[in-house]
Structure 1
Amino acid sequence: MPLHPNPPGAPVRGFERCVCSPPGGACPTLQSPMTNAELSARLLSNVIAFKHLQRERGTLRHLGLPGVDAFCLPGHPELSRAQQAFFHDPGALRDALPALTDFYLRLDLPGWRVVLLPGDTEGRRVLEDAGFAPDAVRSDTLGLVLGDVPDAPPDIPLESSETQDDMVAINKRTWGQLGGQLDVWLRPPRLPVHTLVAKEAGVALACGMARDVGDTAGIYMVATVPEARGRGLAAQVMRGLHHQARSRGMTAAVLEATPEAKPLYQRLGYRDLGAWETWGRTSR
Structure 2
Amino acid sequence: MPALPAAEASLQARAVANVAEAFRRLTRHDPRGAIEEADGLTTIATSIPYPLFNAAFLERPVTDAEALAARVRRFYARAGVPGLLLAEDAAAAERAAPLVHAAELAPGEPIPGMLLAPIPDPPRAPDGLDIRVVDDPDTLRVYNDTLAAVFGMPRAWLAVLDDPATLRLHDFAFYLGLLDGVPVGTSMRFTGHRIAGIYNVATLPTYRRRGIGAALTWRAAIDGRDEGCLASALQASAEGFPVYARMGYCHVTDYQTWVIAPTGASAEATPAPGGQP
1:278 positional shift: 2.1
For normalisation by structure 1, the TM-score amounts to 0.73
* Equivalent of residue 172 in structure 1, options 144, 148, 169: 148
Q: State the match for 2:233 in structure 1.
A: 254
**How far apart, in 2, do the equivalents of 1:239 and 1:92 lie?**
43
Contact 1:57/1:187 (8 A) holds in 2: no
Q: State the match for 2:115 in structure 1.
A: 143
Would the alpha carbon gap of residues 240 and 66 (structure 1) be closer, same or farther in structure 2, given more than 3 Å must change? same
**How far apart, in 2, do the equivalents of 1:231 and 1:75 lie?**
30
Q: State the match for 2:272 in structure 1.
A: none
- Aligned pairs for 1:1-284 (under 5 A) are 33-35=7-9, 38-55=10-27, 56-73=29-46, 76=49, 79-91=50-62, 96-106=68-78, 112-120=83-91, 122-127=94-99, 130=102, 132=104, 135-145=107-117, 147=118, 150-152=120-122, 154-155=124-125, 157-163=130-136, 164-189=140-165, 190=167, 191-192=169-170, 193-279=172-258
**How far apart, in 2, do the equivalents of 1:140 and 1:186 lie?**
29
Contact 1:167/1:221 (8 A) holds in 2: no
1:103 positional shift: 2.7
Would the alpha carbon gap of residues 245 and 127 (structure 1) be closer, same or farther in structure 2, given more than 3 Å must change? same
* 42-51 or 99-108: bigger deviation: 99-108
Would the alpha carbon gap of residues 207 and 154 (structure 1) be closer, same or farther in structure 2, given more than 3 Å must change? farther
Q: Which has the higher helix share?
A: 2
Q: Secondary structure at the match of 1:90?
A: coil
Q: State the match for 1:23 in structure 2.
A: none
For normalisation by structure 2, the TM-score amounts to 0.74
Would the alpha carbon gap of residues 188 and 231 (structure 1) be closer, same or farther in structure 2, given more than 3 Å must change? same
**How far apart, in 1, do the equivalents of 2:226 and 2:134 lie?**
17
Q: Secondary structure at the match of 2:16?
A: helix
The amino acid across from 1:212 in the alignment is T
Would the alpha carbon gap of residues 108 and 202 (structure 1) be closer, same or farther in structure 2, given more than 3 Å must change? closer
Post-superposition CA distance 1:46-78 (Å, at most 9, x none): 2222223332225332212253210235794xx
**How far apart, in 2, do the equivalents of 1:75 and 1:158 lie?**
26
Would the alpha carbon gap of residues 259 and 250 (structure 1) be closer, same or farther in structure 2, given more than 3 Å must change? same
Q: Secondary structure at the match of 1:158?
A: strand
Q: Secondary structure at the match of 1:177?
A: coil
**How far apart, in 2, do the equivalents of 1:71 and 1:93 lie?**
20
**How far apart, in 1, do the equivalents of 2:235 and 2:153 lie?**
18
1:197 positional shift: 2.5
1:208 positional shift: 0.9
Would the alpha carbon gap of residues 131 and 170 (structure 1) be closer, same or farther in structure 2, given more than 3 Å must change? closer
1:220 positional shift: 0.9
**How far apart, in 1, do the equivalents of 2:236 and 2:107 lie?**
17
